[in-house]
Structure 1
């Protein structure tokens, strides 16, 4: 079955349960500090909205298991998140999955896999090198968001052990822990999860625009390059809490691009 025929595939549903400690572990894995008490102390715990992304990640695995792509020949190209309601401090969330779209980019294809729940909708866009060229819709053009306001910058340090910690939130792919697996995939060593980099950026963007990280309502970004745990992210943002754009680079090389976020 071709990619176009996979569109509309129902990936089923799962009830994803978690405790307060899981939400706290996630916050620590995306760089929350010991004194970020609303994120790391159960007394007044606020769950980061980006915690939804590991909760829904199983839909990408399910799409691969359904034959849509081979994980070893794919990349996580971009991510979007729409927040419908704050995640509870603990509980069970029913998440439904489906393959929403397949875009023909010529030399490559992009498959949009969607996770939906009463709390969030998330689209995991999977980049598939060498699988385009069937004459399908290339998809909407990205015009690039334009917002007014001063540009703000910050440097954010990642931790050398951050990928080891983040993988405990659910993504156990070997390239994030095993040096040999990372080298076989073309990297000099283990790399940080793209969703970890995005979670780090979302927290810092909130601070730069004067918002709280748990006030996030929408988020999107393209993964443009790998991050090695311990790298320092040069983050730039423009706009305000109602709507802002952002990007991140390491040593002048983009790692997150076309970022957009809103808080409210």
Structure 2
């Protein structure tokens, strides 16, 4: 079956379970400190909303198992809408489907949408070689209107340190993403990266910690998050978050943007 024929197809329903140890391991993997007791201590635990993304990973993986994605496919962007707080432990029922398949000419973008009572998450997967089927191109990155931009008030931009640590990709693998490029130098070299790279989902989720700090919020009060994966991160690199008072943000390593077009909100 061609990729575009998957549009709108159900990927089924799955009930996933987790306990407090899983939620704490996740918090540590994305950079929570031992001082953030309500993220890492079971007696005070608040589950980070981005933990939901590890619970839903089975859905895009199911398409990979079906051969829909190949080694050239890349996770292009991610969104998360939080409906209510995750419980400290328990079971959650998730329903998944293929969303839009956008025709970008030489490539296609495949959306995988996961719904639950607690959140809605959308993976956008960039799939080279699957375009040209005559479908809609879909939305493109909005270009700012010069006159409107000049008339608008200049937002306040805050810069905040965004550290990663050397064992972060190895630790994050224990939350479910076991792809070899995040641990094996031979596998990362095969895709042109001399060192194993940090999982994009880890980078995006980890960004919510300095983002919350910059915006005077608690990371467990996240309500929405989105971002495009624009460049690789090597564990241990020290990144910088640039965030406006509207919640628009990006993440950079030196002159290289690694997350672009980001948007975040907290309650």
Is the partner of 1:12 in helix, strand or coil? strand
Q: How many residues align?
A: 260
Q: Which residue of 1 aligns with 2:264?
A: 261
CA shift at 1:101, angstroms? 1.0
Does the residue aligned with 2:93 lie in a helix, a strand or coil?
Answer: strand
Structure 1 match to 2:239: 233
| 1:67-92 deviation per Cα after TM superposition (whole angstroms, max 9, x unaligned) | 4222x121110000000110000001
Other-structure match for 1:175: 181
After TM superposition, list the pairs within 5 Å mapping 1:167-246 onto structure 2: 167-239=173-245, 243-246=246-249
Any idea what SS the aligned residue of 1:52 has? helix
TM-score if structure 2 supplies the norm length? 0.94
SS at match of 1:73: coil
8 A Cα contact 1:144 1:258, kept in partner: no
Measure how far apart 1:97 and its partner are.
1.0
Query: What is the DSSP-based 3-state SS (H/G/I as helix, E as strand, rest coil) of the residue aligned with 2:77?
Result: strand
Distance 1:184 1:43 in 2: 44
- Tell me the residue number matched to 2:92: 93
How far residue 189 of structure 1 moved from its aligned partner, in angstroms, is: 1.3
User: Could you tell me whether the CA contact under 8 Å between 2:161 and 2:210 is conserved in 1?
Assistant: no
Which of 243, 247, 258 does residue 250 from structure 2 map onto? Answer: 247
Give me the whole-angstrom Cα distance separating, in 2, the residues matched to 1:53 and 1:224: 19
Other-structure match for 1:19: 19
Structure 2 portions without partners, runs of 5+: none
Q: Show structure 1 runs of 5+ residues with no match.
A: none
Is contact 2:84–2:117 with CA below 8 Å preserved after alignment?
yes
**Are residues 203 and 148 of structure 1, via their aligned partners in 2, closer, same or farther at CA, if it must alter by over 3 Å?**
farther
| Equivalent residue number for residue 72 of structure 2 | 73
Question: What secondary structure sits across from 1:205 in the alignment?
Answer: helix
Aligned to 1:129: 128
1:160 aligns with 166
Given that 1:63 and 1:99 are in contact with CA atoms closer than 8 Å, whether structure 2 keeps it comes out as no
Aligned twin of 2:138: 139
Whole-angstrom CA distance in 1 between matches of 2:34 and 2:90: 24
Secondary structure of 1:217's partner? strand
Q: Provide the rounded CA distance (Å) in 2 between the counterparts of 1:263 and 1:205.
A: 10
1:102 counterpart residue number: 101
Q: Report how far residue 144 of structure 1 moved.
A: 6.3
Kept in 2: contact 1:149–1:238 (CA 8 A): yes
- Cα contact 2:208–2:219 (8 A) shared by 1: yes
Task: Return the alpha-carbon distance in structure 1 between the equivalents of residues 129 and 3 of structure 2.
Answer: 12
Equivalent-residue separation in structure 1 for 2:13 and 2:213 (angstroms) = 35
Q: CA separation of 1:144/1:209 partners in 2, compared to 1, >3 Å: closer, same or farther?
A: farther
| CA-atom RMSD in angstroms | 1.4
SS in 2 for 1:195: helix
